[in-house]
Chain A
Amino acid sequence: MKKFLSKVYVAFIFLFLYAPIAVLVVFSFNNSKSRSVWHGFTMKWYAELFRDEAIISAFGTTLLVSLLAAVIATLIGTMAAIGFKYMRKTPRTVLMQVNNIPMLNPEIVTGVSLMLLFVYVGRVLGGVELSFGTLLLAHITFNVPYVILNVMPKLKQMDSHLYEAALDLGCKPAQAFFKVVLHEILPGIVSGFIMAFTLSFDDFVISYFTSGAKSQTLSIIIYAMTRKRISPKINALSTIMFVVVFVLLLIVNLRKSKDNTTTKKKQKGMVKL
């Protein structure tokens, strides 16, 4: 009985989380612009999607800014995390507090404060206006703390003597870093990169305040549409994105569990030998 109840509960939560997504997917195949009445099956929104230049170019901008921001933030963040580790305690604590600000602050405050910076600096220095450049700077700024959040624990777990051992064995500092330290913290760097990319890709609020009129991301276009009427083309686009992410996650996880079973089998084989 208890088991049954918890199954019902889990199902209820998933129903709640996926109901709007189901609506979105179903109506991407609706043969009408209506978003509540079914008029028969069609694929025309998918065809029209690829002919819509505004959506395609916004998709390109979004992809470009998230990739660039994630790469740069991963570089800066990883370097910063290593630097923080070898600092004395007081400056480290102060810097970590400042680093936490963009994560703790409401997004709207981060967005507005960066907008003030760009507009103010633009007025004082001249020539700076809201554009792809300011959008990218803003994205890097809110990404780096999440990279550090992911890299820091791996650095803490790492045996700090490893680096010294590499030096003792004749590595130059750079070699010791790339061959030993980087190898140890790589999982943290990868998950930091993925997190940064995801946050950038999905961001609306900060982009809204820092992008200006020329470099619009998908979220901004969608927001403009919600004020009038959302085209089913956007439903089609998000259905495609959802399926791609879903398949990627599935592949990654199937491979992981496969790896686990094969290593287990190998271990068993070793024992037999």
Chain B
Amino acid sequence: MNRVKNKQKNKLKYLSGIYVFWMIVFTVIPLLLIIYFSFTTTEGKFTFENIKNIGEFTPVFLSSIKLSAISTIICLLLGYPFAYIISKIKASKQMIFIIFIMLPMWINFLLRTYAWMTLLENNGIINKLLSLVGIGPVHMINTQGAVVLGMVYNFLPYMIIPIFNVITKIDKSCIEAAQDLGANHVRVMTRVIFPLSMPGIVSGITMVFVPAVSTFIISTMLGGGSNMMIGDLIELQFLGGSYDPNLGSALSLVMMVLILISMGIMNEFDTGEDVMAL
């Protein structure tokens, strides 16, 4: 009887058959194609040329990493206190705040970024407000600062949600125990709450850094032409003016390796918990 049941249970694993096939065709093979294109010429001959040519673009890589690292740090500094404050209010009200954090994501992000252009322009709304109090005009659009602002704006929710999820799950008795043992507010914060929220911080950092370092819209719209990022370079090779899928693939490959390395470093701090599901 038991064996029959186990057999029936085992049959259930075949339900994943379609998806396994799907993953091979639409996830694994495309990635192999990227590797293949990275190491071949347009005629299909093996070459290291594409990878070598990436050396020219080192400044673009460095500035992409710099801008997205700054944005990630600002997201963490802004997002952590916010997540902490929200986790302290009544559970019935928390959901409303979280909904209002997610709601802007329902407006097309191109439009939200475009609205920032309106705000930041030289004769835009912020400069008009500033001129009322006698400051300005401050040049904001088409600067690195504007790109960072755009990234922080677009990716802040991805930092807040995982941190919030982790903080609300911290066992209250841990905090009480620390207080009973004589820890003051600051010590409870630095020694108990902050270390226990590490998994949320780690996944927040990856969820902000990865889309930030690979973006090509925010830098085009808010940075003007002068603040190019890796994403812009890749887009140019596939759909833009300088059509070269082989170089584009090599750029994508190097970017993926960079991200893998930084995620590997981040995972050193992680306890391996799943914190994204709401």
Measuring CB to CB, which residues of chain A are less than 8 angstroms from any residue of chain B?
Answer: 6, 9-10, 13-14, 16-21, 23-24, 27, 35-36, 76-77, 79-87, 95, 98-99, 101-102, 104-110, 112-117, 120, 137-138, 140-141, 144, 149-150, 153, 163-164, 167, 173, 191, 198, 202, 204-205, 208-209, 218-219, 222-223, 226, 230, 234-235, 238, 241-242, 245-246, 249, 253, 257
Contact = CB atoms under 8 A, between A and B. Distances in A.
Given A82-B16, A149-B277, A245-B103, 12 more contacts: A80-B20, A81-B16, A87-B13, A101-B27, A112-B238, A116-B33, A153-B277, A164-B5, A173-B8, A209-B238, A219-B108, A242-B103
A106 B255 CA distance: 9
Given A36-B125, A86-B12, A107-B211, A113 B153 contact: no
Interface of B: 5, 8-20, 22-23, 25-31, 33-34, 37, 78, 81-82, 85-86, 88, 92, 95-97, 99-101, 103-116, 118-119, 121, 123-125, 128, 153, 156, 206, 210-211, 213-214, 216-217, 221, 231, 234-235, 238-239, 245, 248-249, 252, 255-256, 259, 263, 274, 276-278
A29 to B, nearest CB: 14
Contact of B245 (A18, A116, A141): A116
Contacts of A140: 22, 26
Contact of B15 (A80, A113, A209, A249): A80
Contact of B18 (A21, A80, A85): A80
Contacts of A235: 111
B26 A19 contact: no
Contacts of B85: 6, 9-10
A98 B23 contact: yes
Q: Is the interface of A mostly helix, strand, loop or mixed?
A: helix
A85 B88 CA distance: 36
B108 A18 contact: no
B211 A106 contact: yes
Contacts of A86: 9-10, 12-13
Contacts of B103: 242, 245-246, 249
Contacts of B15: 79-80, 82-83
Contacts, number: 217
B23 A95 contact: yes
Contacts of A106: 210-211, 213-214, 231, 255-256, 259
Given A84-B16, A113-B30, A222-B110, A150 B277 contact: yes
Contacts of A35: 118
Contacts of B13: 83-84, 86-87
A226 to B, nearest CB: 5
A155 B231 CA distance: 38
Pick the most buried of B110, B245, B274: most chain A CB atoms within 10 A of its CB: B110
A87 B85 CA distance: 42
A19 B115 CA distance: 9
B35 to A, nearest CB: 10
15 contacts: A13-B82, A13-B156, A17-B101, A20-B153, A82-B12, A98-B23, A99-B19, A106-B255, A108-B216, A112-B252, A116-B34, A141-B26, A144-B22, A173-B8, A202-B106
A216 to B, nearest CB: 13
A77 B23 CA distance: 11
B27 A102 contact: yes
A95 B106 contact: no
A141 B249 contact: no
B239 A209 contact: yes
A79 B18 contact: yes
A58 to B, nearest CB: 11
A234 B111 contact: yes
A238 B108 contact: yes
Nearest to B28: A98
Nearest to A227: B220
Given A20-B153, A21-B115, A101-B31, A9 B107 contact: no
A35 B125 CA distance: 9
Contacts of B124: 36
A83 to B, nearest CB: 3
Contact of A198 (B106, B119, B276): B106
A129 to B, nearest CB: 15
Given A16-B153, A79-B18, A242-B107, A113 B118 contact: no
B16 A21 contact: no
Contacts of A167: 5, 8
B32 to A, nearest CB: 9
